[in-house]
A and B are shown apart, each in its own frame.
Chain A
Amino acid sequence: HVTEDTPGLLHHVKFQSQNFESILMWDSGPTSPPDTVYSVEYKTYGQRQWLAKAGCQQTTRKSCNLTMETGNLTELYYARVTALSPGGRSATKMTDRFSPLYHTTIKPPDVTCVPKVRSIQMMVHPMPTPILGEDGHQLTLEKIFQDLFYRLELQVNRTYQMHLEGTQREYEFVGLTPDTEFIGVTTISVPTWSKESAPYVCRVRTLPDRTWT
């Protein structure tokens, strides 16, 4: 989207969002002087008024945190950046329509892998987001995505995998060989939105079996 553009002053104005932490980013153009300053505005789709983002006015930075301003998951948003060069040249560019639910990607889960003699426990820790619920508390990913589930794989000597999956937080792979190395891979999956997190990988060794020694 181009509103008014001095060629080469401003590029790639877009949102990057992870676990609903939404950052507006942009690039300076090939012809923009180093002391060009940028000002950010945002608005809710369907509203007339653009709102200036405090803290991102006349800044030389090339990013701006709009997490709180885009925190209503039933809304869609636009943001725009105006670049102003010392010579008085200016350019304004707008993002595509931003949908937090659609655009956000999922970070790898936070997992603790606990080896035992013949099993490995894997505990997935809750992942709060900056999104506030009606009660003012931070919502977790599980609360936001109704069909979110965890997928756990234990690679057994690179030939096959043990699979566990579910929505609970604690899992245990049992029936393992003592004193053996395994690779645990945990991902978060949200089928509705075809989202899948990058994997959390833990390399862990079962404890030696000392019962006969």
Chain B
Amino acid sequence: FGPCQVKGVVLSELWKAFWAVKNTVQAQDNITSIRLLKPEVLPNISDAESCFVAHALLKFYLNVVFKNYYNKRVEFKILKSLSTLANNFILIISKLQPSQENEMFAIKESAHRRFLLFQRAFKQLDIEAALAKAFGEMDILLTWMEKFYHQL
């Protein structure tokens, strides 16, 4: 991810895990007029900023989306996909080390504003609807990660 180095994670494993449950999960999201990962959150991100945004989004998915999903009565197929995604996200986050240097402050701020766009949209929804929508938008997140993954 830009200046962050991520090795040892094959994104196709994450894709397969999500594809296995994509239609089931997206069918649970019937608010078609709201998109959390809007174009202004993701595309046109600089390399440097991508590391900060990726770190923030992945942490949110680990701490909020996946965690709450585990507490729902989900079917076995979804639980297995959830586990693959969550454990690979933990691996990615452990390797994503956003730079803490001072001159990165402006980039960090810009990244944080992007993340807040996503988080605010998430909080405006009822928690169940928000969880289903965030999980259903994994393909948007993985598509974005692909782009940066290839620019290493």
Interface residues in chain A, defined as those with a beta carbon under 8 Å from any beta carbon in chain B: 1, 43, 45-48, 74-76, 78, 94, 96-97, 99, 101-102, 146-147, 191-194
Contacts and interface: CB of A to CB of B under 8 A. Distances in A.
The 7 tightest CB contacts between A and B, nearest first, are A46-B35, A48-B33, A97-B26, A96-B23, A146-B150, A78-B32, A192-B146
Contact of B43 (A46, A74, A78): A74
B143 interface: yes
Scoring A43, A78, A102, A194 by chain B CB atoms within 10 A of each residue's CB, the highest score goes to A102
B130 interface: no
Contacts of B92: none
A99 B143 CA distance: 11
A101 B39 CA distance: 16
Nearest to B23: A96
B150 A147 contact: yes
Nearest to A102: B139
A102 B35 CA distance: 18
B16 interface: yes
Q: Chain A's interface: helix, strand, loop or mixed, by majority?
A: loop
Interface residues of B, number: 24
Contacts of A192: 11-12, 15, 146, 150
Contacts of A46: 32-35, 38
B98 interface: no
Interface string B24-48: 0011001011110011000100000
Contacts of B146: 192
Nearest to B35: A46
Given A74-B39, A99-B139, A194 B32 contact: no
